[in-house]
Amino acid sequence: MISPALNDSLTTWLASMSALKAASDNTLRAYRTDVEGFLAFLQQHLGDTQGLAALRDLSKSDMRAWLAHENARGVAPRSIARALSAVKSYVRWLSEREGFDATTVLSVKAPKFQKKLPRPLDKSAARAVIDTVEFQSREDWVARRDEAVITLLYGCGLRISEALGLDGDVVPLAGALRILGKGGKERVVPVLPAAREAVDAYVRAAPFEITASEPLFRGTRGGRLSPRVVQKVMAQTRAQLGLPATATPHAMRHSFATHLLAAGGDLRAIQELLGHASLSTTQAYTAVDTARLMEVYEAAHPKASGTGARRS
């Protein structure tokens, strides 16, 4: 158990993250868990040293001891890197408030890990998923619901949390949908006719009245649909189609980006549609070959295009 002073400072930091950076509840919970674990380790590692003073004099050996402790517990390098990022953010904030030098903590490097690249489905597999998902339920309205959700993930590139967070005030769907994504970032995505038709079919079949203030997608008991339900339906669908375990609801979003870019879409436009803060994140979402990326680069980069013009 951490000291009251540290607990108070942690609570205040999380409140500031919520107010200033619009961090989601899930993100705040993860931050609290990571930083509380770090502070609990310090209390044990440093013995009787408690309170805010313990953070003022942290050494590199203290930080290395914590990283080694996490590694010994079997925590994956990716999770350790995430926890270190949360710890750095907290200590940086605290150092500014308390007036101490946090360089030692901020200079600690995260463990290296291999980033898992997303694996989108090819066009025929994505189409097969949308055509097959309805057969996973005996109830017609549930089948229409599941088809509508999956169609939105693929047709609009939505995150599953964004699709399930929609309320009834968006129906009937217009030509564009305003989405509030990660960090409270708002974006507008175009809605394909197939997505509008799928949502309309679900609304007509639903046994619940879809009102403006109520969730659009409902569970069988009437509450907001859980992501776990969609994940289960997707698992049943991929098993029926013989698709790999990587064919998840999120893979439909990856597929949206990949297929759009392969069809000639602009990388920065796709970045906006996906709601990514960094273009590099969008690149990781797209499974296109090097030649295609070079075509996009040459078309977008002024020096590259200028060189091409001179050659011609």
Would you please indicate which residues are annotated as catalytic (active-site) residues? 159, 182, 250, 253, 276, 285
- Amino acid identity for residue 128 in this structure: A
* CA dist list (Å): 149 to 146, 154, 158, 251: 5, 9, 10, 13
Torsion-angle region of residue 264: left (phi > 0), alpha (psi -120 to 50) or beta? left
DSSP 139: S
Of 247, 244, 218, 222, which is closest to residue 234 (Cα–Cα)? 247
CA distances from 135 to 123, 131, 142 (A): 20, 8, 10
Residue 220 phi, psi dihedral angles, 5° rounding:
-65, -20
Cα–Cα distance measured from residue 185 to residue 277, given in angstroms and rounded to the nearest whole number: 9
| Helix ranges, 157-214 (H) | 160-164, 193-205
